[in-house]
């Protein structure tokens, strides 16, 4: 068994941050569905801006909002306006064809990669 990439949102822009909120990453509900993520799922977040990598979990933001929000202590590592990649993995003994979603500067779906 290996951990394989299952879901990815590529080139998302962090639109909000809230240090006082109990930690997580808020993602537009439409993007959660397009990428095949689940609410509460553990994810790896990588900043293309700073190179920082962190693990957290997903909460849902309003569908169609384009909102990608860093919450809690993660705000100290990845800031508003940074470009990020959001990845989910699955433990499997078979190859997985991951859903890789490309978004525009407003975090709107462009295409599957």
Contact 62, 28 (CB under 8 A): yes
In the set 7, 24, 47, 65, the catalytic residue is 24
Q: What does residue 46 show for φ and ψ, rounded to 5 degrees?
A: -120, 130
- Per-residue pLDDT, 109: 96
Residue 101 lies in a domain: no
Residue 79 lies in a domain: yes
Q: What is the CATH number of the domain that holds 40?
A: 2.40.40.20
All residues at 6 or more sequence positions from 89 whose CB lies less than 8 Å from its CB, including other chains: 3, 4, 5, 6, 44
All residues at 6 or more sequence positions from 94 whose CB lies less than 8 Å from its CB, including other chains: none
- Per-residue pLDDT, 34: 97
Q: How many domains is the chain partitioned into structurally?
A: 1
Residue 10 in this model has a pLDDT that exceeds 80: yes
The residue to which tokens 């240090």 are assigned = 19
Residue 8 lies in a domain: yes
- Per-residue pLDDT, 22: 81
* 60 counts as catalytic: no
Query: What gap in Å lies between CA 68 and CA 31, rounded to an integer?
Result: 10
What's the predicted TM-score (pTM) here? 0.95
Residue 109 lies in a domain: no
Residue 70 lies in a domain: yes
* 24 counts as catalytic: yes
Sign, CA dihedral 28-32-38-42, equals: negative
pLDDT band, residue 23 (cuts 50/70/90): confident
Residue 18 lies in a domain: yes
Q: Which two tokens stand for residue 6?
A: 């299952």
Residue 80 lies in a domain: yes
Question: 110, 97, 90: which is closest to 13 by C-alpha?
Answer: 110
- Per-residue pLDDT, 68: 98
Percent of the chain with pLDDT over 90: 97
Domain that holds residue 51: 2-93
DSSP character for 93?
Answer: S
In the set 21, 50, 57, 60, the catalytic residue is 57
Residue 42 lies in a domain: yes
Q: Write the pLDDT tens digit of every residue in 39-94.
A: 999 999 999 999 999 999 999 999 999 999 999 999 999 999 999 999 999 999 99
């Amino acid at each position: 068994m290996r951990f394989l990439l299952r879901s990815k949102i590529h080139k998302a822009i962090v639109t909000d941050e809230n240090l006082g909120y109990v930690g997580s990453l808020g993602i537009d509900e439409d993007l959660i569905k397009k990428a095949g993520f689940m609410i509460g799922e553990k994810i790896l977040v990588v900043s293309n801006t700073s190179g920082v990598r962190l693990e957290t979990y997903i909460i849902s933001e309003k569908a169609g909002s384009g909102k990608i929000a860093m919450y809690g202590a993660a705000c100290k590592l990845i800031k508003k306006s940074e470009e990020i990649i959001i990845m989910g993995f699955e433990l499997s003994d078979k190859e997985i064809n991951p859903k890789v979603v490309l978004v525009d500067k407003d975090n709107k779906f462009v295409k599957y990669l």
